[in-house]
């Protein structure tokens, strides 16, 4: 396999989920062995932030990276899109702190990348290969992620939140060529009772009820529903019979598990190179994902 980049620059614009900043993201071609890098074009000197796990500075409700005095929030969907499109080298200009959330999935991002054209470069693609099982366990949050040696890359993700409405479920990706169709459309999700906490901590300032699946655990009164509708500038909201706010319907029966798989692909891109191995994860999250990546690197070294 040869390394790949995009043929021409292409942009998307929108609002960041947590910061609420409006900005533009521009994907640019990059030379061989460049890797994935962000460039904060809104800051003097246009500092570069490399998509590497050693640059991770925060994993609460998203993966944030920082370098050279600059930060980029919530990078996981972009990184998953780049990996899903088979791109090795790319320079991503961003004129604010956080990329646009779009519809809460990676669908628009990977479509934008592919619209630019994917071109093969001369250098061979470099893969990371493990020669023994690497296991990460975090008993406090109940997460477990394992990678075993293999000649290809596959991933299986299971989630269980002890919920009446979000049942235990599993998502499987057997080949990265299936990412665009099977994984990229899957949106982020949240429980109804978490919305107020997120707003209290000054998060989801750019969110609206069209950018996430909201699961409702138990009875919620009409007064509370209307209060949430007002917070998100909607006339009204209700609850589907299946326990989801009626602003949306699921794109896949196991869309939450598929989205967690999407996030894990994005966070594993922080390895800096694609890896060969079979990954099996239970209740992954950004903290667990990035700690798992660090553990892989330790074992590679």
Active site residues: 286
Tell me the sheet residues that pair with 39: 48, 93
Structural contact between residues 274 and 153, judged by C-beta atoms closer than 8 angstroms: yes
Give how far Cα 32 sits from Cα of 36, 49, 90, 123, 124, Å: 11, 18, 9, 6, 9
Q: Write 234-242 long-range contacts (CB < 8 A, 24+).
A: 234/208, 234/209, 237/209, 242/165
Measured CA to CA, the distance from residue 188 to residue 194 in angstroms comes to: 13
Burial class (CB in 10 A: 0-12, 13-18, 19+), 72: buried
Structural contact between residues 71 and 124, judged by C-beta atoms closer than 8 angstroms: no
Structural contact between residues 290 and 63, judged by C-beta atoms closer than 8 angstroms: yes
Q: How many residues does the chain have?
A: 301
For Cα atoms 164, 168, 173, give the angle at the middle one, nearest 5 degrees: 145
């Amino acid at each position: 396999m040869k390394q790949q980049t995009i043929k021409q620059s292409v942009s998307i614009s929108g609002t960041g989920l947590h910061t609420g900043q409006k900005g533009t993201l521009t994907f640019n071609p990059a030379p061989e062995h460049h890797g994935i890098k962000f460039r904060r074009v809104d800051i003097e000197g246009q500092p570069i932030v490399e998509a590497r796990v050693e640059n991770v500075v925060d994993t609460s409700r998203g993966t944030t990276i920082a370098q050279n005095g600059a930060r980029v929030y919530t990078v996981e969907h972009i990184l998953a899109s780049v990996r899903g499109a088979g791109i090795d080298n790319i320079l991503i200009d961003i004129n604010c702190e956080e990329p646009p959330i779009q519809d809460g999935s990676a669908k628009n991002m990977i479509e934008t990348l592919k619209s630019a054209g994917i071109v093969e470069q001369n250098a061979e693609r470099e893969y990371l290969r493990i020669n023994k099982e690497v296991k990460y366990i975090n008993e406090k949050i109940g997460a477990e992620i394992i990678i075993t040696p293999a000649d290809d890359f596959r991933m299986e993700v299971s989630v269980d939140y002890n919920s009446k409405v979000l049942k235990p479920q599993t998502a499987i990706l057997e080949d990265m060529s299936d990412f665009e169709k099977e994984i990229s459309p899957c949106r982020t999700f949240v429980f109804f009772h978490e919305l107020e906490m997120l707003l209290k901590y000054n998060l989801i300032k750019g969110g609206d009820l069209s950018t996430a699946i909201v699961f409702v655990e138990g009875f919620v009164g009409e007064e509370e529903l209307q209060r949430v509708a007002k917070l998100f500038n909607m006339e009204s909201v209700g609850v589907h019979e299946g326990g989801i706010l009626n602003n949306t319907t699921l794109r896949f029966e196991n869309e939450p598990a598929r989205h967690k798989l999407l996030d894990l692909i994005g966070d594993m891109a922080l390895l800096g190179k694609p890896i060969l191995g079979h990954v099996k994860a239970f209740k992954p999250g950004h903290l667990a994902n990035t700690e798992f990546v660090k553990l892989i690197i330790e074992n590679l070294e």
